[in-house]
Structure 1
Amino acid sequence: MSQHNRRTFLQLTGTAIGAATLGAGTATASTSDSRFFINLRDVDRSEVPDDIEIIHDLSQADVLVARGDQERVNGTTVADRVIDRGDDRTGAVKSRDGPTTDGKGSSHNHDGPPKNSEFQWDKRIQDLNNELTDKPGGGKSIHDTATGAGTRVAVVDSGVYDAHPDLAGVVNDDLSENVSEDEFDFRPNGAGDHGTHVAGIIAATNSNDGPDGGVLGTAPDTEIVAYRMFSGQEGKQGDGYAGWVKAAEADCDVINYSVGFPAPFVYVDEYPFLTEELRIAEQVAEYVRSQGTVIVNSAGNDSLNMSPENTLSIPTEAEGVFGVAATGPIGCGWGGKHSDNEAKWLTGNRLEDPTDSPAFYTNYGSAVDVSAAGGDFDTEAEVEEAQRDLVYSTVFETDESGDTVPAYGWKAGTSMAAPQVAGAAALVRSLRPDASVEEIESLIQDTASSAPGGETYHGAGHLDLERLVKRVK
């Protein structure tokens, strides 16, 4: 069965695989107990009762995140929402563990097991760096022109494990912050390694000096500011918006927000509160953009057409949010005599689907601004190497002694596509420090390449770093 047919089957049956990892619990966007948003464009601040607790004062955006009796506030309010990441993978459709950072050695390039960076098809196909290319003589790479120096990217997510060797010195520990209500710092606290994987896609430095080397991000010289909004398995949308505002006021050039409402919390007829949730998202986005910060958001993993009027995917469809759909290959390094020949994984006719083909789980439609590499997988394949079609990046795991250790792993999802674009935005801002939010977004869209499925799945097109840096420099 082809990927297209699998997509059609999912739509016709109403199945929403992207709402959770296969085999894991379903994601939800339930009411956050007594927490709610107050829209100060409809409510006079002086009339908010004194016994209403203000969790986050986002009055820059005319928004308060509050706790208490919502009915005591006269005017427009709407409940805050909980995004339940379960075992951390609601942000990734598929996850596979990889090796720890002290791997036991392997030969380089098509003469034995691949090194870590050779699993990075998403970076290799973009000619990111000559360390990753198989071109004779190397040629000019993206990093010969820009590496993100002088920029700052916020990762509003499950926290970032900054002890990973490929993230050492990348995370600004002073600015990074826990925006949830628990008492811990910005590092992961129960919601897994999703944010760490995202951070590596953006800014990993390939600094691991182990025998298998490390992995490389799109903008390895950018600075990551981590805002942890997930406490345990749950993240509250209001905490995410607080992270947006803090990021803008910390002079972050870009926010990566690989978070959103999953299905069925996208149907306005069934959930009319979504229209007020949209207003809140747009007000916060308006303020963030006014500070010069781009908001990049994953489009979602429900195989959902976001175009119909009765469908509203938040925050992707909010004005001012840059939505990213996912693509990925099928067949990268699969079996046969070339499975250990990394130079040929992405060449010739070895791929069933090319790297810019829509991932079967990705949301699509009018809210997509561009697509980028998020990974794909064949649900019917019984091939050990099938994990290579996912995106490979930094993660962590717990060893036999219960200690947290750095590692590498594969994930697929629009969560992995968004940071490809966030990293690209950092490259643009590093080359044009005075570029406006609108200019950065337009440059990414105007240089995007055509791809299978057209505008429906890719918006303006598929992220093309080579065309982008040529246009910007």
Structure 2
Amino acid sequence: MGRYDRRRFLQLTGTAVGVATLGVGTATASPADSRFFINLRDVDRSAVPDDVEVVHDLSQADVLVARGDQDRVAGTTVADRVIDRGDDRVGAVESREGPTTDGKGSSHNHDGAPSNSEFQWDKREQDVSNDLTDKPGGGKSIHDVSTGAGTRIAVVDSGVYDAHPDLADVVNDELSENVSEDPYDWRPNGAGDHGTHVAGIIAATNSNDGPDGGVLGTAPDTEIVSYRMFSGQEGKQGDGYAGWVKAAEAGCDAINYSVGFPAPYVYVDEYPYLTEELRIAEQVAEYVRSRGTVIVNSAGNDGLDMTSENTLSIPTEAEGVFGVAATGPIGCGWGGKHSDNEAKWLTGNRLEDPTDSPAFYTNYGSAVDVSAAGGDADQEALDSIPEAQRDLVYSTIYETDDAGSTVAAYGWKAGTSMAAPQVAGAVALVRSLRPDASVEEVESLIQKTASDAPGGEPYHGAGHLDLERLLKRVGK
């Protein structure tokens, strides 16, 4: 199996991003109608001109998201940024569609084609449920201890397709909200199934009664609140922060924010405004944490060393944001004589790389708090061997059929976007058992129980997410 070199990946992608990926306002914005942040720690609210519209009042965090002529505000302002979900490094580095929820042909283990849950190496490796384990006889699983009951997780993203059978009754439709400026609801509106995939990693219930069953999330009894910040492919950072504040005030235990600035918009010498963007992120994070909400953020997909003084990856490097790097296997169920035996995909020496090895694309360095399963890929094999997609993370998505109707389905994605919800789900497991645990206590528990993993601290921070050790510690 050939590996895809991380350095080469960065060379190919780090210089190929245009303004469409991360811009100032929108492509048609004029100085009179551009969007920007006002930092109320430097600007008196009374000094904001009447003709400057406040889009989101986040004064709880001393921040306003405004529209108008930025130059008319005397004091510290910085442009709001447009993030393009169409850029793979902003969402998933790799994606592959799988079967619809009514897929035909049922079987389990090595008696035929895999069932849906058997593709979930991320959950099987963590012994989330005895229904998924590779260990004969089972024993106590994660869900025997906690399923996340009584908790609430916000997904600030592209919206969640709640008609999926594995997400039925999971999303709180009263609290969920569209925080973009379009007139539609909180469900997906043109930015794809990224948020739906994330929601499944956290809270899928394996409720599909089709012949191949469904998929299972880390915390299937948690409640998802969907805050849609993307309208079409574009999402504004200010809308994301509005989602953060709303989530905290709705009592969410954690926010999953699989969004961030891609390269080259991480280099401070080229983009000095990043230092003011950092201040805004930290002020919002400070308020959110004061309400008891953990902010879980994907570390980014540029293969970037965030320890470098010249780099500033936002919001991962903001104080108060819990950064998650990605890991994944190479060789899960392909390339060998046991490719048709799901019970042996993760056992013995059948993997070229283990599930906790750093993914080729993941950012790394000082801003990483822990790592978690995000999926990896042998790029050459992925283009030629269909089974190589099994190294990606399998979860809930939706597709459009030949008649133009939306149908529930399953699919593979890889990215730090997929790693963050593994940790958001872990927060739900902890808070279900210790509802009064502070943000700092929850984060510390996750870090102190993390396991050593290949590559060490730069790629894993305190270590690789270990649910078994985590719940043992929480139960003490």
| TM category, shorter | over 0.9
Partner of 1:415: 417
Moved more, 101-110 or 221-230: 101-110
| TM value normalised by structure 2 | 0.96
Partner Cα separation in structure 2 for residue 213 and residue 149 of structure 1: 22
Q: Is 1:6–2:5 an aligned residue pair?
A: yes
2:461 to 459, 462, 473: 459
Moved more, 234-243 or 381-390: 381-390
Structure 2 counterparts to residues 316-331 of structure 1, below 5 A:
316-331=316-331
Q: Is 1:213–2:213 an aligned residue pair?
A: yes
Partner of 1:72: 72
2:433 to 431, 434, 445: 431
Please state how far the C-alpha of 1:336 moved relative to its aligned partner.
3.4
Partner Cα separation in structure 1 for residue 359 and residue 413 of structure 2: 13
Please state how far the C-alpha of 1:17 moved relative to its aligned partner.
6.9
3-state SS, counterpart of residue 65 of structure 1? strand
Structure 2 counterparts to residues 62-461 of structure 1, below 5 A:
62-86=62-86, 90-381=90-381, 382-461=384-463
Please state how far the C-alpha of 1:27 moved relative to its aligned partner.
6.4
Partner Cα separation in structure 2 for residue 17 and residue 337 of structure 1: 38
Contact kept in structure 1, 2:301 and 2:362, CA below 8 Å: yes
Please state how far the C-alpha of 1:89 moved relative to its aligned partner.
7.1
3-state SS, counterpart of residue 98 of structure 1? strand
- One-letter code of the match for 1:360? F
Identity across the alignment (%)? 85
1:217–1:380 distance in 2 versus 1, CA, 3 Å: same
Partner Cα separation in structure 2 for residue 448 and residue 16 of structure 1: 31
Partner Cα separation in structure 2 for residue 206 and residue 183 of structure 1: 32
3-state SS, counterpart of residue 407 of structure 1? strand
Contact kept in structure 1, 2:295 and 2:321, CA below 8 Å: yes
Partner Cα separation in structure 1 for residue 150 and residue 19 of structure 2: 40
C-alpha distance after superposition, 1:23-53 (max 9, x if no partner): xx99621101300000000000001000000
Which structure 1 residue ranges, 4+ long, deviate > 3 Å from structure 2? 8-11, 17-20, 87-90
Equivalenced residue count is 466
Partner Cα separation in structure 1 for residue 86 and residue 20 of structure 2: 7
Contact kept in structure 1, 2:256 and 2:420, CA below 8 Å: yes
Partner of 2:56: 56
- One-letter code of the match for 1:239? D
Contact kept in structure 2, 1:304 and 1:363, CA below 8 Å: yes
Partner Cα separation in structure 2 for residue 361 and residue 170 of structure 1: 31
1:19–1:83 distance in 2 versus 1, CA, 3 Å: farther
3-state SS, counterpart of residue 403 of structure 2? coil
1:30 to 23, 36, 41: 23
Please state how far the C-alpha of 1:384 moved relative to its aligned partner.
2.0
3-state SS, counterpart of residue 15 of structure 1? helix
3-state SS, counterpart of residue 448 of structure 1? coil
3-state SS, counterpart of residue 408 of structure 2? strand
Please state how far the C-alpha of 1:8 moved relative to its aligned partner.
3.4
| TM value normalised by structure 1 | 0.96
Contact kept in structure 2, 1:159 and 1:226, CA below 8 Å: yes
Partner Cα separation in structure 2 for residue 87 and residue 360 of structure 1: 17
Please state how far the C-alpha of 1:134 moved relative to its aligned partner.
2.2
- One-letter code of the match for 2:189? N
Partner Cα separation in structure 2 for residue 183 and residue 403 of structure 1: 21
Partner Cα separation in structure 2 for residue 311 and residue 272 of structure 1: 11
- One-letter code of the match for 2:465? L
Partner Cα separation in structure 2 for residue 290 and residue 299 of structure 1: 23
- One-letter code of the match for 1:420? Q
Please state how far the C-alpha of 1:214 moved relative to its aligned partner.
0.2
Contact kept in structure 2, 1:18 and 1:300, CA below 8 Å: no
> Gaps (5+ residues) in structure 1?
none
Contact kept in structure 2, 1:87 and 1:192, CA below 8 Å: no
- One-letter code of the match for 2:184? F
Partner Cα separation in structure 2 for residue 415 and residue 460 of structure 1: 19
1:99–1:27 distance in 2 versus 1, CA, 3 Å: farther
Please state how far the C-alpha of 1:267 moved relative to its aligned partner.
0.2
- One-letter code of the match for 1:28? T
Contact kept in structure 2, 1:17 and 1:301, CA below 8 Å: no
Partner Cα separation in structure 1 for residue 20 and residue 104 of structure 2: 37
Contact kept in structure 1, 2:15 and 2:264, CA below 8 Å: no
3-state SS, counterpart of residue 202 of structure 1? helix
Contact kept in structure 2, 1:17 and 1:93, CA below 8 Å: no
Partner Cα separation in structure 1 for residue 443 and residue 380 of structure 2: 37
Partner Cα separation in structure 2 for residue 468 and residue 16 of structure 1: 36
Q: Is 1:15–2:12 an aligned residue pair?
A: yes
Partner Cα separation in structure 2 for residue 18 and residue 102 of structure 1: 42
Partner Cα separation in structure 2 for residue 112 and residue 432 of structure 1: 42
Partner Cα separation in structure 2 for residue 206 and residue 163 of structure 1: 14
Please state how far the C-alpha of 1:357 moved relative to its aligned partner.
0.2
Contact kept in structure 2, 1:369 and 1:445, CA below 8 Å: yes
- One-letter code of the match for 2:459? Y
Partner Cα separation in structure 2 for residue 294 and residue 271 of structure 1: 28
Cα RMSD over matched residues? 1.5
Partner Cα separation in structure 2 for residue 18 and residue 375 of structure 1: 24
Contact kept in structure 1, 2:90 and 2:260, CA below 8 Å: no
